[in-house]
Structure 1
Amino acid sequence: MTRLTDHLIVISFDCLSSQDHSILKDLPHFKELLSRGSLCKNVETIYPSVTYPCHATIVTGNFPNRHGIVNNTFIQPGRVSPDWYWHRSHVKGTTLYDEAKKAGLTTAALLWPVTAKADIDYNMPEIFANRPWHNQIAVSLFNGTPLYQLRLNSRFGHIRKGLNQPELDDFVLESTVATIKEKKPHLLLVHFTDLDTQRHYHGFSSEEAHAAIRRHDDRLGKIIGALKESGIYEKSAVVALGDHSALDESKAVQLNVVFKEKGFISLDQRGRVKDWKAYCKGCDGSAYVYVKDSSVKKDVEKLLYDLYEKSSNGIQQIYTGEEAGAMGADHTCTFMLEAELGYYFKDKIDGDFIHTITPEDVKEKQYTWGSHGYSPKKEKYSTIFMASGKGIVPHKEIESMHLVDEGPTFARLLGLDLGITDGKALQELIDE
């Protein structure tokens, strides 16, 4: 298959929403991208619409129940900080970067989710130290490209303040610019999380969120500048996209508190989870309910529908596992729950069933003011896709597309084949 572009630069601005288009179109660097490229401001995301499943979808063209990344974190009842789906080994099937590597193309990824230990030439994976005895730099080095990361850390590590934003994205930006100039990868995947962080802790339309969008414009400008300085801008396709949107919330549904009271979750003498028959695994705006002991399934179902009858309990919809699978989510769950507007789900097993969030909660980063993970069918919840450069039809706006279409489209631009996918290449955006 013919390659249509020499270099594909995919920039994920986590939590960039269709609602942001009114701001983006007037910012200088997004405006430049939009003025010469194509746009879709109605991209339907996946279910559950959380970061790791979304980014696995972007590089596979498949829904979560096919690629296997069905949530951000694992089912680890009682753990304050469950482990995430960090590693490439969790992804079923092939990916865009696997196929690029097979074709002899140079690949690079910076903080792209689910790439730990991936076969990527220049890889700084998104993974963090999740045990008291772990060291952040050591964990990153062990799971990515060690020498590459060491050099970037020695040059730009002073910018970072742990995992805090916006400093983390500023570090990623400088690392991206250096990678473009020095490595000139054929495929570059980069993930920025500044906006997502601000929307979580300050709300969707907060000034902090708007400031992050302006910082993202500066970051886009510096990446475009690096491509120009490297002499590969005219040979490159540049894509700026979001993975999901977000919605404001002020109440947390803590269903495991009720499960514990009903005896579905049992604790040891130290208050730790000893065993469970049913467990609610949150995806922020939605949640999976897993029933391990079939003898309590009918009791769990009755409990859920009793709670559902009262809208102040925060449950907007109950799906069966089969229905969840039909929507692309984890078909092995027993039930899947969708939150009412203003609510989201937490895994906590102590406290109140419905927790009203306070500023102190958010300051301590125990709760948030904004979440994603909701059904892609919710109003004003779509994300955005912008692309320009070699291989992209200029001045084209398409009415709608799906997140699963992005991977096959990227594969076509690079002359690659992802095999049979849930999505399709968007021929109307591709300049043959």
Structure 2
Amino acid sequence: MERVTDHLIVISFDCLSSLDFHMLKELPNFKNLLSRSAFCKNVETIYPSVTYPCHTTIVTGNFPNTHGIVNNTLLQPGVLSPDWYWHRKFITGTTLYDEARKAGLITAALLWPVTAKAKIKYNMPEIFANRLWHHQIAVSLWNGSPLYQLEMNRKHGHIRNGLSQPELDDFVVESTVSTIISKKPNLLLVHLTDLDTQRHYHGFSSEEAKAALYRHDQRLGKIIGAIKKAGLEDRATIVALGDHSALDESKAIHPNVLLKEMGLLKVNNKGKVIDWKAYCKSCDGSAYIYIKNQKDKETKEMVVNLFEKLLKETKNGIEQVFTNAHAKEKGADELAFLMIEARQGFYFKECHDTSYIRSITKEDVEERRYTYCSHGYSPAKEKYTTVFIAKGKGIRPDTEIASMHLVDEGPTFATLLGVNLGETDGRSVEEIII
């Protein structure tokens, strides 16, 4: 396949929603990007619509049950802080950066999910120290490109304040600028989470979220400036996209409380899960219900009866219950026995030591136990789409696509880079390519 562009720069603004589009049109750098661009302000996300499955879909063109990243975190009942799907090894099949490397292209990624230990030349993976004996710097260096990360930290590490926002994104953007100018990668993947963080802890339409959008506009301007400074303006394609939207919530649902009361979840005197027959694994706006023993018909019957009963009353917060076959059709984990969808205003937590429903307080959010806003919901929720904007070499200007799907982005990127992702769940959006 012939390459359409020499340099593809993909910037993911985590939690960027179609509802933000009216504001993007007025912000100077997004307005500049939209001018003579190809764009879609109605991109359907995946199920569950959480960050790690979404970003893996973007680089594979596949649904979660095809690429294997079915949630942000692993199923680890009893572990206080479950590990995330940080590592490339969890992905089934190939990725955009794998195929780019095979084609001899220079690849780079900054905090792109599920890239730990990936074969990316300049790799700063999104991974954090998740055990008391881990150290953040060592964990990052071990799982990415050590010399590259040391270089970026030497140049820009003073900007960062641990994992706090907005300093983290400011550090990532300065590192992105340096990478574009000094490395000139053919594929660059950048993940920014400032907006997502502000929405979680302040609400979807909060002043903090609006401020994050202004900061993102400034960050976009710096990246565009770096492309020009590197002399790549006529040879590069820049893409700005979102992975999912989000919805405000005021109540948390704790299905494991009921599973514990039914004897399907056992805890010790310290409150730690020591055994389970059924377990609710949260995806925030949705959740998986797993059965430990697939031959345990009694437990399955108890679980079905429980959720059918809960579904009958709106106060229980559950909008839909899907069988594993239905979850598979939607692209979610077919190994789950059931998948449950929260009503708007509710989301799921894995706690088992509180009430079934908890109204979220200011103190809960300040102490980071709960949030004011979540994603993970079904793509069928109203006003829940995200956006896609592409401009530069190989892109047909002034082209609006009425609708597209997140799975279409990977195949489209593959076309631009002249590589092949093989058979995918999505399609290349040829309408935007010259």
Which residue number corresponds to residue 36 of structure 2?
36
Which residue number corresponds to residue 172 of structure 1?
172
Alignment of 1:19-418 (within 5 A): 19-293=19-293, 294=296, 295-418=298-421
Cα offset, 1:36, TM superposition = 1.7
Cα offset, 1:154, TM superposition = 1.4
SS of the counterpart of 2:73? coil
CA distance in 2, matches of 1:268, 1:317: 32
CA distance in 2, matches of 1:56, 1:123: 16
The answer to whether the Cα contact below 8 Å between 2:271 and 2:353 also exists between their aligned partners in 1 is no
CA distance in 2, matches of 1:355, 1:309: 19
Normalized against structure 2, the TM-score is what? 0.99
- 1:426 to 2:434 alignment: no
CA distance in 1, matches of 2:10, 2:272: 43
- The share of aligned pairs that are identical, in percent, is 67
Cα offset, 1:81, TM superposition = 1.2
- Higher mean alpha-carbon deviation, 284-293 vs 5-14, is at 284-293
Cα offset, 1:366, TM superposition = 0.3
CA distance in 1, matches of 2:203, 2:80: 24
CA distance in 2, matches of 1:37, 1:272: 53
Count of residues paired in the alignment: 431
Matched AA of 1:33: L
SS of the counterpart of 1:317? strand
CA distance in 1, matches of 2:269, 2:346: 32
| Shift >6 Å, 4+ stretches | none
Which residue number corresponds to residue 3 of structure 1?
3
CA distance in 2, matches of 1:268, 1:32: 58
Matched AA of 1:213: L
The answer to whether the Cα contact below 8 Å between 2:323 and 2:337 also exists between their aligned partners in 1 is yes
Matched AA of 1:121: K
Matched AA of 1:401: M
CA distance in 2, matches of 1:69, 1:186: 26
Cα deviation code 1:183-204 (max 9, x no counterpart): 0000000000000000000000
The answer to whether the Cα contact below 8 Å between 1:74 and 1:83 also exists between their aligned partners in 2 is yes
The answer to whether the Cα contact below 8 Å between 1:48 and 1:375 also exists between their aligned partners in 2 is yes
SS of the counterpart of 1:36? coil
Matched AA of 2:391: S
Normalized against structure 1, the TM-score is what? 0.99
Gaps of 5+ in 1: none
CA distance in 2, matches of 1:125, 1:186: 18
The answer to whether the Cα contact below 8 Å between 2:109 and 2:122 also exists between their aligned partners in 1 is yes
SS of the counterpart of 2:389? strand
- Higher mean alpha-carbon deviation, 292-301 vs 3-12, is at 292-301
Cα offset, 1:429, TM superposition = 0.6
